[in-house]
Amino acid sequence: MSKGTKYVAKPMDEQGIIHWTDEENQIWNELITRQLPAIKGKVCDEYLHGLELLNLPHDRIPQLHEVSKVLKKETGWEVAWVPALINFSTFFDLLQQKKFPCATFIRTREEMNYLQEPDIFHEIFGHCAMLTNPYFAEFTHTYGRLGFSASKEDRVFLARLYWFTVEFGLMRTAQGRRLYGGGIISSIGETEYAMSDKPEFRPFDVVDVLRTPYRIDIMQPVYFEIESLHQLFDVAHSDIMAKVEEAKALGLHAPKFPPKDSEKMAS
């Protein structure tokens, strides 16, 4: 949902098949085979269970219908083909229909470690395993319904809730800190960083989350930790929009990062 991208989503043929090149399949192979050992001992059990259910191929990019078949069986979700860029209304509308948007392009070798646009590796490997979990799926569905009918101003606040859960969420477990956010799980650098002593870790509180600024182009200075996925289910069944009003009244926290312009001036 960024303003511009150099990537173009690959179309489906009449049978719903996307024809990936050998190079694109090779990039998928390199991404998944390096990321699997990187997340070992760092991701939550629910993610690992979902990954086992998905049984993603290593030698090629999975077809969307293969992933959708598993998601539909487990939670009623599916993966939806979208172009490289979609607007917020389309994004929320898909989520409220239990369709997870997936732009069908994969990063180039020049951006193997980081890209701002969510590619198919980020969407499938990072997110879809968690969508096999009913608590997580319910939270995401509720988020889509609320976002679709929210005002432009309220969507800005809701974006922070998505960012610090679905994208960059952490969980406290009996085994220690574990990852569940797709933005971390699909990133080789953020996987290591989020499990280090460098960031600040806060207990999950909806109003606190809604008041916390973020930037998409840096390692996150702050992460929020839930106690369990059931906590997200409870949030989904709470009055989230009342929390948005409370956050608006209190105002934003001071950012833990410099603005982009000051970074450019200093460089």
Q: How many CA atoms lie within 13 A of 144 on its CB side?
A: 19
Task: Please give the distance of CA 185 from its chain centroid, rounded to a whole number.
Answer: 9
Q: How many helices (H) and strands (E) does the chain have?
A: 13, 6
Distance CA 208, CA 219 (A): 19
Distance CA 249, CA 12 (A): 46
φ, ψ for residue 257, nearest 5 deg:
-140, 155
Q: Are 177 and 222 in contact (CB under 8 A)?
A: no
Does 122 show up as a binding residue in the annotation?
yes
Q: Residue 229: in which H helix or E strand, if any?
A: helix 229-236
Does 227 show up as a binding residue in the annotation?
no
Does 127 show up as a binding residue in the annotation?
yes
φ, ψ for residue 200, nearest 5 deg:
-95, 135
Output the known binding site.
Answer: 122, 127, 167
Output the known binding site for Fe cation.
Answer: 122, 127, 167
